Structures are given as C-alpha cells and as structure tokens.
Structure 1
Amino acid sequence: MLPHRLSYYLKLKGPSFTVDTACSSSGNALHLAFKSIRCGQCETAIVASCHLTIHPGTTVQFFRLGVLSPDGIPKVFDEDANGYVRSEACTCIFLQKSKNAKRIYARIINAKSNCDGFKKGGLTFPSSQIQEELMTEVYKESNINPSKVSYVEAHGTGTQVGDPIEVNAIDRALAKKCGKQLLIGSVKSNIGHPEPASGMCSIIKVLIAMETGFIPPNKNLRRVRKGLEGIEQNRIKIVTEATELLDNDAIVGLNNFGFGGSNCHVILQRFKKQKINGGLPKDDVPRLICVSGRTNEAVLKILDDVSNKSLDEEYVGLLHQ
C-alpha cells in the first residue's frame, strides 16, 4: 500500500510498486524507473527508499548469521573489518528527461542489473564473477572506456567476504583496463548500512561530490585488507581524505549488491554548469518573487530564504516555474 498511497495522494497514474531485492532494492528501483522513462512508459518517476530498524528481531537474526560488527564500527576495506553496522535512512529522488528538467544534479547514462544464480558457496555468498560481468556489460553497452571513469562508489559493507569479492571484481572489470589509478569509496563507512536504502544513499553521496567538487572520505580505515590486489598493486586507491572530483563531466560508477544475489550498477555523469557572476542579472530590472504555500509559515519561510540571499536570476526563475 505504501507506493499506492503516494500515487493516490499525488494523483499519479503510472506504474506504482514496491521493489524488494534486499540490500540492492533502491538500486533496482532506480534501474526500473530509468527503463520506464526510456521506453516511454512514463515521463517522470519518484524513487524512494526507507529503512527503519524498529524491531530488534531482525538485528538478532543478522547477528546470529555473523554479518554484523560486534563493536558497532563499519571498517570498510580494512584488515580488521568484522561485519556491517545496521543504520536507518529515508531517501527520495525525482527522475525526468533532461530536456524537461528545471534543475539537474546529474545525468544517468545507464543502469543495469543481474543475478548471481546458483553458487556453491550458498545463497548469501556473493559472486565476484557475476559482479564483474555486470560492470563489464554496462560500460560496454554505454560505449564508455574504463579510463573515463573518475570514481566508483562501491557497495562496500565491511564484511570479510563481501569487500574482497567486490574490490577484485572492480579491479578486473575497470581498474586493469583504466590506465590510471581508480578512486573508490563507500558511504557505509560514514553512515553504516541502511540495507534496502543503501543504493540511494550512495547516489546522494555521489551527488554531494559532484556539487561540491570533492569526494567525501572513507572513515575507520587503518590497514587495507590483505588480498585486495588492485589496491596492493596501486591500480585502485581508497579515498581517505577529501579528494577533488576532476572534470566537469566526470563519470562515476555505483555498485549496489543484494543479500541473496541481486546486483545493480548505475553510471552517473556530472552536470557542472558554471554560474556567471554568481547568477546576478545583466540588467537592473526589479524581480517580483511569487511563491505559494499551504500555510503562512511556509510562504514566509520561502520569502525569508530569498531575502537572505543575493539576487540570483536562475533561483528566482526556478521559484516561478
């Protein structure tokens, strides 16, 4: 009922459904929304994800399975990594065709998903080969040479099995073909693992990097885990301090893997428009600010925000539109 309530409230008549592929739920939801717009099924899409750790039973189950960190610290890619830390998140993004967009944070070049299928290690054991195949396919389909990739936001949960499998897959699919050192990181070192909402949190981290020009650093990395060949041989570098995201049209890859074998990869391109003179208009014509809200407080909040900023004709135009 959750997506249907939103569709009811907002009067939306396109496809409306919940996606559950465990930890890759929001990545797969984004993939499906992206496909729906591309094939003409809808013009716009709302992709939302939420994870709340309300009932302790689920946490107990994962702890007994041995995938949670006993000390509650996410040590992604670290030698002492001992599991992930469950966290909460509510995230939402709006997708539309760039020609209709009033504000562009980034462009989705492609998104693709696959599934591990049968594995000798069991249902919950990730597959490095299938992850590698997914990354190889999505870049080949998009005609993007791995050397063009500026950064990869890894799924990186801080588990002893998952991190080496993913990093080695990134190494084979991208880093070995890159011709330069590939930067990687994982937002889970900063905020923990919000499970089904994790893919969307990774996207928001990438958008922050694209907006500010700096990739947020990983935390809790003391000693890089042994066996990560790409890092040991300097083909891959983990971002441990604020690092500049080069190129105004930088291409960033994003991994989102699901507990059980559902994998997703998204390619984002930076949309960096340079403001001229801070958005000041070239004329001295006064601008009339027209806003609306459901309450007086809502209107006053918007007007206060406008009055506390210097005049920016793009911002005024955005409010009017």
Structure 2
Amino acid sequence: MPERRRAPRTGVVAAALAAALLCALVASVCLGSTQVPPGRVWSAVVRGVSGQAPVPGTQDLIVWRLRVPRALLAAVVGAGLGLVGTAVQALVRNPLADPYLLGISSGASLGAVSAIVLGAGAGGVLGLGLSSAAFAGALASFTLVWAVARRGGGFSPLRLVLAGVGIGQFLSGFTHYLVLQAGDDQQTHGVLFWLMGSLGGAQWSTLAAPSLAVLLGLALLTARARALNALLMGDETAAGLGVDVARLRRELFVVTSVLTGVLVSASGAIGFVGLMVPHVCRMVVGGDHRRLLPVSALFGAVLLVVVDLLARTALPEQELPVGVVTALIGAPTLLFLLDRRLERA
C-alpha cells in the first residue's frame, strides 16, 4: 500500500520538474545582457531545428548559437551530477557523499587542467584531449582511492570516504601547482574560472559527449536500481538477496568515473549539486532508486539551468563562476534540511 500511494506522487513530482525545466530553459534563453522575447526565441529555435541558417543582423545568432547550447549543456550537466551523486551515496551508504568527497572530481580536474596548461591543442597530456584527460584523471583517482580503501582485504564506507578526502586534497595540490605554471595571466585566469565551474564555452559540438554519457549512465543505473536498494541495507543483506556486491561496486566505480570525467571536461568543477540534489529528492520521493534516479536527474537539470542564469545575470557586465552560485545556494539549503532532520530525530 505505501508503494501505491507514493507512485502517483512521484509521477506528479516528475511532471512538475519537467515543466519547471522547460520554463527554466526558456527563461535562460530569453534573459541576459540582451533581452529576447519568447516569440523570437521560439522562431529562432524552429529555424535552427529545421536546418535554416540564422537570420543575419537579428537576435537569432544569440539565441541559436550561444544561449540554447549553453542552457542545454547546463541541463545535461545538472542531470549528470544528480545521477553521480545518487550513485556515490549508494556506494558508500552515506546520504552526504558526493564525487568531491571521493576524490573523483579532484582527479578529473587535475587531468583536465594538465591538458589545458600543458597544451590540449597540441595533443594534450600523453596524447589526450581535454575530455580524455579528465576521464583518465577521474578513473585514476578513484582507482587509487578504491585500492587504499580495500587495503587489507576489508571494506567500509568510512575508509572509502577518508581515503577519498585525503587523496582528493593531494591531487588538488598538484592542480594548484599546475595553475601557477600557466603560461600567462590570461590563461591562469581562464583555468581558475574553469575550476570554479563555467558553461561559457558551450557549443553545439560540446553537447554530444555529455548527453550520451548521461543517457547511458541513467540507463545503466536504472537497470541496477533494485541492487542499489539492496546495497543500502548492507553488504551481507545484499548478498543474501542475490546481489554480487563486488561486481556492483565495480560497475558503480566505472559509471561514476566516466560520468564525472565527461562532465568536468564539459563544464569545469561544479560542486554541491551532486551532494544536495539526491538528498533533497530522497526527502521528497523516498530512497527507492527506481524513483530517486530519474527525479534526481530532473531536479539537477532544473537547478543548474537556474544557477547558470543567476551566474550570468546577478551582476551587471560580469559573469560569476557557476560553482560559486551553487555553493551560495546549496550550503544554506543543505544546512536547513539537516537541521529539520535533526529536529525530527
């Protein structure tokens, strides 16, 4: 009976988030240093989708070539961060875990910054481009964290978290060193801005990789939703229910590393979304991953589109890093939610 009562509510939440996402996307394209009426936006989008070239000397160029790709990238990255946060929290059985806590984002940032500073245009680090370098960094860092946490043959979520924090800080030190080695002040400023999260470089060509990664990640994680539910009850209980716990953790390890690497390469290091989104969604729709995963993806998409709009429009003639806005919004929100949960306990 509880499942039947909750299912309609989950459908309502998902429909509301989908409608909110559409509204946020329209607002993101309309608003900015140049205001574009909604009618002009829709006509530019229709022409773009139909393959017609933007009308020269009009606002079509701003809409189709600049704002639409950026808004869509914000939605894709937000959805991906929501999925990664949900998977990581199931992996360590901690609702306050996120990719930063496990060192994944630090490794991806180190790989991407290495490609930028040492020359992504000339083949990057060891022949890797920006996306490949970020993925390699994420995979290498989580492999190291996993090896340290599994040392001695045992495993505990606490050891994994502590290993992730320590190695993440270690890799962040190398990242900051590379920033200091940047060739000029403009490159240093660009790298620092990117490290705090930026969607300013969004183009149609940059949408393919993160979109594909998020869709595949959602499909793979949804297919393992029941196993994720069992994992939350402990390794022994999950094994008793027929779950291959070691294999499941390896799968989560690969999926989260791939997603984090692709997302970081596309948008820089945007914190707090992967931590806050699953926590908030879990309070609304419960902990069943069959509901939690799609709702987290939708809420993450809405949140980051709105945050990017605020980052572009909050200050006149100046754009804020997206990560700064997510921290300013996310930290007080999460503290408020934690305070409410402690009051109920």
TM-score (norm 1): 0.25
Higher strand share: 1
TM-score (norm 2): 0.23
Greater relative contact order (Cα 8 A, min sep 6): structure 1 or 2?
A: 2
Higher helix share: 2
